[in-house]
A and B are shown apart, each in its own frame.
Chain A
Amino acid sequence: MSQSSKRPPPPAHVQQEARRKFLRSMLLGGMAVGGGLAGWLPVARAHDLRLRPPGAIAEDDFLAACIKCGQCVQVCPVEAIVLADLKDGFGMGTPYIPARDQACDFSCDAVQCILACPTGALTHELSKKEEVRMGVARLDKPDTCLARQGLGFKGAARGADFPGLHRYEAVDRWKPILVADHPYDLELCDLCVRECPIEGAIALVPMSTDPTDKRRTPEVRQSCVGCGMCEMICPTEPASIVIDSRSVWRPS
C-alpha cells in the first residue's frame, strides 16, 4: 500500500489513453456480443419453419445441437441439403432442404445425413426412411392442381432448365438424374403420387361417384414423411402441393 501511495499518478495523456482503451474494449466487445445475440431476432420472429433434413430433433434443440459442419450436406446424393445463411441468425450454418428446388428423395436409401451427423441433431434413433417425420404434405392450391381438373401432363415436369435431381429406379437404380432429362406423357397428372418415395403416403382419389369423371384429388396419408418430393415435382407454378415443415398429419 505504502508503495503505491508513494508512486505519482500517471501523466494525463497516459490516463486518457487508458480510459480510451477501456472504452474501445467495451464498445468493440459489446459489438461482438451484440452481433452474436442479434442472431436471436430471426429465430424469434421466424414464422415459417425451415424444412430440416430427415431425423431433425425439435427445432430449438436442433439449433443448439447442430455444430454447423455441413457433413449432412456432403453425403446427400441429390444435394438436397443446403446451409442457412446470415438471415437465419442462430440458425446460420444449419442445414435445411429447399424442397421446391431440390427435395429429399431418399436416393441414399439409408438416411445418410443422419449417419453423417456428429452431434445427433439429426437423431440417430432413425434408421428407415419410413420412420422420418420432417413435416407433412398439404394441397395448398387445389384450383391449380392438374389432376383435380382431370388434366394430363406432357414434357419435363419443371421445364427444361430445372436443375433438380431425382433417382428414377427404372432409369438407374443408383444414380440420380436430372428431372429435366426425364420427360413424362401422362393422361392424368399423377406426378406427386408417382414420384413419392414412400409407399402409400399419397394417393389420387376420385372426386365423384361418376365413373366417367376423370378428376382425381391427391390425398395425403398418415405415412407421409414430408420429404418434399411432391412439392418439387409438381408441374404447376407455384406448386399446388407443398410441405408444412414440422407439421404432423391429421385426418382431413
Chain B
Amino acid sequence: MSLIQSLAIMLGREPTKPRPDEYEPEAQALHEAKRACKMTPEQRAEINRQTHDAHKVHTWRNRRWLTLLVVNLLFVASYHFDVQLIEGALTASRVIGFHFADLNSALQVTLAFKTILINLIIGTSTVLFMWWLLGGRSFCSWVCPYHLLAEIAEMLHLKLAAKKLVKDRQLHRRTRVVLYVIFAVSALASGYTVFETISPTGIVSRAMIYGPSWALTIVVFLLVLEVFYSRRLWCRYMCPIGITYAVVGAVSPLRVAYTPQDCHHEGECRKVCLVPHVLDVTKKGFAPSLHQGIGADCTRCGLCVDVCPTGSLKFEVKGLDKLL
C-alpha cells in the first residue's frame, strides 16, 4: 500500500480491494492456493478453538496499560513528590528539563497566538521525532489517558451490545477531518485555543495532576455516549489529535505488519480494532503482497497482535531485520 493510499484511508476514504495489477505474483499465487483448498469440518473446528483461545491473550494490552499508567503517574509524581522527571501536563512539559509539546496543542497555540515560539519549535521537534520513532498514533493508545477510559467504556459497550441492550451507531470517518479543519480555522480566526476547551486528553491529564475539575463532566458525557450510543465515538471519528499523530505514524518505522500465509481470515483482529479500516488487508484475497505494513491510522495498540491466533500480525521495526 502506498503512503498516499494509507493517508487517504486515514482521512476517511473507504479501503478497497486492490486492482488485479496491484498484486505481487507471490501474493496472487497464495490467494489462489487458499481459494483452491477446501477445509474439513475438523480443521474448521480447530480454527474456531484457536480463535477462542486467542481472546484470552492480553500480552500487549497489559504492557500498554502499564506504560500508559506509568507515564501518566510520572507526571503526577513529578509534581506531588517533586521528582521533576516530567513537569507539566500532556499538552506541554519538561522531561528532565527538555521541552516537550503536544503537536496538536502547539498547533492550536501557534494558530491562535500567531507567533512562532522557539520553545514550541524545540518541544514539537522533539515530540515529532520521538513519535516518528515510536509509531505516531502510538501516542493515542500508549500515553493518552482518555484512551484508557475509552477502552473501559468500550468493554462495557461490547458487553451491553452482546446482550442487545445497546447498538453501535457509526459516524462518517471524515467527521474527524472536518473537525480538525474547523478547530484549526477557529483557533486562527478567534485567537483562542478553541479545541483545548473540550480536549478530553488535556482535561484528564490536568485533572490527574492538578486535581479533579468540573471539566471532567465533558469527559463523562463522552464516555456515556461511547457506552450507550456509538463505540469509541471520540477516538474513532472525532479527535483531531489522532489525525496529527496519524500523519507522523504514516512514515514511522515502528508498525504492525501483516503476513497472510498462515492467516485464517476469520476477522477477529478487525473486531477488536479501534480503526478496523487499517486491517482491510487481512480480508481473504485482499493482501497485495506477502509482507505488508498496516495503515497510518493504526494506533499500535497491539490488540490485533494479541488476538491473532496464527501470528500473522506482528510488531516490527521496518528495516531492522535487514540491519541485523
Contact = CB atoms under 8 A, between A and B. Distances in A.
Interface in A162-180: none
Contacts of A37: 186, 194
A86 B170 contact: no
Given A22-B172, A119-B117, A71 B92 contact: yes
B239 to A, nearest CB: 9
Given A32-B238, A86-B215, A87-B214, A68 B193 contact: yes
Interface stretch (A89-97, A203-211, A236-244): A89-97
Interface string A69-91: 11101110000001101110110
Contact of A61 (B113, B170, B209): B113
B92 A69 contact: yes
Interface residues of B, number: 57
Contact of B193 (A74, A87, A90): A90
Contacts of B123: 118
Interface stretch (A23-31, A139-147, A223-231): A23-31
A60 interface: yes
Contacts of B113: 61, 64-65, 119
7 contacts: A33-B179, A66-B109, A69-B89, A85-B213, A90-B193, A90-B194, A119-B120
* Max chain B C-beta neighbours (<10 A), residue from A66, A73, A74: A74
Interface in B187-225: 190-198, 202-203, 206, 209-210, 213-215, 217-218, 225
Contacts of B214: 85-87
Contact of A69 (B88, B112, B197): B88
Given A24-B171, A64-B191, A64-B193, 6 more contacts: A21-B169, A32-B238, A36-B194, A69-B91, A83-B206, A93-B202
B51 interface: no
Nearest to A33: B182
A39 to B, nearest CB: 4
B186 A86 contact: no
